[in-house]
Structure 1
């Protein structure tokens, strides 16, 4: 049975969070003399002299409407990377605890583990890019606090079998973090709908991909109220700046536009796959539920360098376990995809 107190760090249990001026007063006033701000304004067209809402209420309210979740189950971070780091700092004791990742997967889990001095256990995906449940079960010990699963997975693009994730959620007494950065492009439904079923589930999403807001750095974590309370206690007081909050809120009114881009991206993905299959140097194209494809080639380094010379940048993933010989290609606009294909026609 999962109990948050069994995995929460003792210093975090006893932590008194920083109390900002905006935490102590909530509401509207005519004169603010509490936060040592510049009362005269900003040297910009728009004033940013006041500190932002530390809990981003308006953005969360809109996300609550879109996701069908209470505000108390939503955490906002400076990108999903901040949420990942806060999970390490809240639940993993440096030099003692460990987490499990399932390579090939998103690289920040390993980087964040290393920064926080948390041991990393690697249980590679199967040849079909699915979870090795037996291997994960063998890797778990009394100090294993978190299992990270990226679905749809980066860099392979496929979704992880839902039943396998549910097996972990039901049998592991630590946190299972399902990173859904690419869920908007997937045929699978989000694990957000399972939050009421599993107290140890954390779902990560982002506004960087389908929503086209990578430059604003707004990531989301969805979890039980008690997990969100811990994350809010540990985070910096003003972790999402005012400009990002305002622009994110404005963007979140345009759901129809984003849905149109998603449809176009999926259509372009299908067209790109068909075009790439015509090249002799393309050995395989793996099924994708994301806005990118993983393409196995005869000589990834040579193809990568060939494209770089023509001003086209893809990602060489050939040195990543189980991705040998592969390039990761993001789905671009129709014009960008055509430039890619026409350039590859000149590759010998």
Structure 2
């Protein structure tokens, strides 16, 4: 598949902004090229110089953990930036369309609306799996992107692998698999399939298992042509130096992160069992993420009662296929115990 033919015509012709750091790479004693403040920063650490626009040191460290070459890696200001750039690079406003699979992550539709791109919704089946026939019917020659969230937010389940492979093999546009919660899943990442499918884009994040939500750092992995196009349209210095430094430090603590993942999965399983015993809980949906979706008698009332006790969860009862449902993030063992006690008291 020729990825370059998928991009918008104006993006094909686009000459990207050339930064001072693009034009000179190397060591020097005096930098007078980027109109920076040569005196330093009013901080303990100097941030007066522009950061590496391609974040090569950070990508190299990520590559050692993920097994994805630097040239197949894009870093964004959260996964949301990568999502937005996919629309801006590949979808002609007012002409092209994308397919999303409700219930799913809300930013796909928001980004489409911002970019004036038609959204075609194909609801998941009652078991929260893909409606392959519905997806096939929704496609036409102007369908550029299909977003698949797996494990899915807000339902928590992983999408059946062979169904995703069916779409990858038959769709002529980009298949975007959002793996924000993959660290908590039994199913393995699609990273190994990157060499097999030139139209595969995988989104991952530092916001969940890595505990760096406040840094806003997302990853996109794809074939070189896709990454090159994303780098062409991104803002020049989209990842600031402080984020790059802190992420590099965090990547030295893989053992700690793995320990948190293990504890979270154990707590998820314990909490699922405990929630199922409560009279007000009608159903506990199986989860491959760091949250659990439950159906309750009165979602709004239960949510409100927990708020009064200082416990905030997410009311998802107005989301497609999630009527009467609440979404509960797995907290620390102490937080989970407090939540259960509060629910028992209702």
TM-score by length of 1: 0.99
The yes-or-no answer on 1:18 pairing with 2:46 is no
Note if contact 2:101-2:148 (Cα within 8 Å) is conserved in structure 1: yes
RMSD: 0.6
In 2, distance between residues paired with 1:230 and 1:141? 23
**How far off is 1:6 after superposition?**
2.8
Instruction: Classify the secondary structure of the residue corresponding to 2:345.
Output: coil
- Post-superposition CA distance 1:243-300 (Å, at most 9, x none): 0000000001111110000000001111111221121110001010000000000001
Trace 1:311-326 onto structure 2 (pairs within 5 A): 311-326=310-325
Give every structure 1 segment of 4 or more consecutive aligned residues whose post-TM-superposition deviation is greater than 4 Å. none
Instruction: Classify the secondary structure of the residue corresponding to 1:345.
Output: helix
Trace 1:63-82 onto structure 2 (pairs within 5 A): 63-82=62-81
Note if contact 1:281-1:297 (Cα within 8 Å) is conserved in structure 2: yes
The yes-or-no answer on 1:114 pairing with 2:113 is yes
**How far off is 1:231 after superposition?**
0.2
What is aligned with 2:231?
232
Note if contact 2:145-2:173 (Cα within 8 Å) is conserved in structure 1: yes
Instruction: Classify the secondary structure of the residue corresponding to 2:214.
Output: helix
In 2, distance between residues paired with 1:26 and 1:45? 26
**How far off is 1:344 after superposition?**
1.2
In 2, distance between residues paired with 1:160 and 1:278? 27
Note if contact 2:4-2:225 (Cα within 8 Å) is conserved in structure 1: no
In 1, distance between residues paired with 2:127 and 2:343? 28
Instruction: Classify the secondary structure of the residue corresponding to 2:98.
Output: strand
- Post-superposition CA distance 1:8-63 (Å, at most 9, x none): 10110011000000111112221111100111111111111111000000110011
In 1, distance between residues paired with 2:143 and 2:343? 46
**How far off is 1:7 after superposition?**
1.5
In 2, distance between residues paired with 1:293 and 1:337? 12
In 1, distance between residues paired with 2:29 and 2:339? 56
What is aligned with 1:337?
336
In 2, distance between residues paired with 1:122 and 1:344? 35
Trace 1:1-150 onto structure 2 (pairs within 5 A): 2-150=1-149
What is aligned with 2:167?
168
Note if contact 1:3-1:173 (Cα within 8 Å) is conserved in structure 2: no
**How far off is 1:4 after superposition?**
1.3
In 1, distance between residues paired with 2:26 and 2:187? 40
In 2, distance between residues paired with 1:214 and 1:30? 36
The yes-or-no answer on 1:244 pairing with 2:243 is yes
In 1, distance between residues paired with 2:216 and 2:21? 22
**How far off is 1:195 after superposition?**
0.4
Count of matched residue pairs: 346
**How far off is 1:346 after superposition?**
1.3
Deviates more, 1:217-226 or 1:20-29: 20-29
In 2, distance between residues paired with 1:156 and 1:340? 20
Instruction: Classify the secondary structure of the residue corresponding to 1:28.
Output: coil
In 2, distance between residues paired with 1:277 and 1:147? 34
In 2, distance between residues paired with 1:310 and 1:74? 43
In 2, distance between residues paired with 1:189 and 1:346? 39
Trace 1:134-283 onto structure 2 (pairs within 5 A): 134-283=133-282
Note if contact 2:179-2:203 (Cα within 8 Å) is conserved in structure 1: yes
- Post-superposition CA distance 1:73-104 (Å, at most 9, x none): 00000000000000000000000000000000
- Any unmatched runs of 5+ in structure 2? none
**How far off is 1:338 after superposition?**
1.0
Note if contact 1:180-1:205 (Cα within 8 Å) is conserved in structure 2: yes
